[in-house]
Each structure stands twice: as C-alpha cells, then as structure tokens.
C-alpha cells in the first residue's frame, strides 16, 4: 500500500511539474498558463514529491527510504516523459 501511495504521489508531482513548463502547456493546452498558476503547479509538485519522500522514509527509515524514493521518482519521471512523447506523436500524426 505504501508503494502504491508513494508512486501515485510521485506521478502526480511530476505531472504538476510538467504542466508548469511552457512547452507542455502549448502542446497540450494550446496556451500558456498565467504566472500564479505556474508557480502553484511548481509548489504542488514539490510538495507532492516531498510527501512521497516522507511516506517512504517513515516506513523504511532514511537509509532504505531514500533508495525507494529514488526508484519511485525514476519510474514516475519516465512515465510522465513517455506520456508526453506519446501525446506529441499522436497529435503530430493528426496534423
């Protein structure tokens, strides 16, 4: 259960951080978000990743919790990155 929660938090955190960048905003939303929204997305993404770290460290301790956090963040970042690439290719085929 803790792994699923930590993975979901990491995935949501990296998704928020991805939407805080200008290029995914233009490709997916077709517009730029306002500056306060971008800042809020960055804060939310960082807080979600910190919460995932707290969950993993709370369960496994600092030594093994940091290793688990590294694995969860790697997988979550790869999933968000591959989703952005897949979306870009799918939209590119339509045009």
Q: What digits encode the pLDDT tens for the residues 19-53?
A: 999 888 888 888 889 999 999 999 999 999 999 99
- Through-space distance between the first and last CA atoms of the chain, rounded to whole angstroms: 42
Structure tokens at 93: 């085929």
- Cα–Cα distances in Å, from 66 out to 7, 53, 80, 82? 14, 7, 21, 24
The residue whose two tokens read 């919460």 is: 51
CA separation for the pair 80, 6 (Å, rounded): 15
The pLDDT of 63-92, averaged and rounded, is 91
Mean pLDDT of the chain, nearest integer: 91
Residue 14 above 90 pLDDT? yes
What per-residue confidence (pLDDT) applies to 28?
83
Tell me which residue range forms the domain holding 26: 2-94
């Amino acid at each position: 259960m803790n792994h699923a929660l930590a993975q979901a938090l990491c995935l949501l955190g990296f998704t928020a951080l991805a939407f805080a960048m200008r290029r995914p905003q233009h490709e997916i939303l077709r517009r730029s978000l306002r500056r306060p929204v971008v800042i809020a997305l960055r804060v939310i993404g960082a807080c979600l990743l910190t919460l995932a770290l707290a969950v993993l460290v709370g369960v496994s301790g600092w030594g093994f919790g940091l290793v688990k956090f590294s694995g969860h963040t790697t997988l979550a970042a790869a999933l968000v990155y591959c989703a952005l690439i897949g979306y870009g290719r799918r939209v590119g085929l339509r045009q």
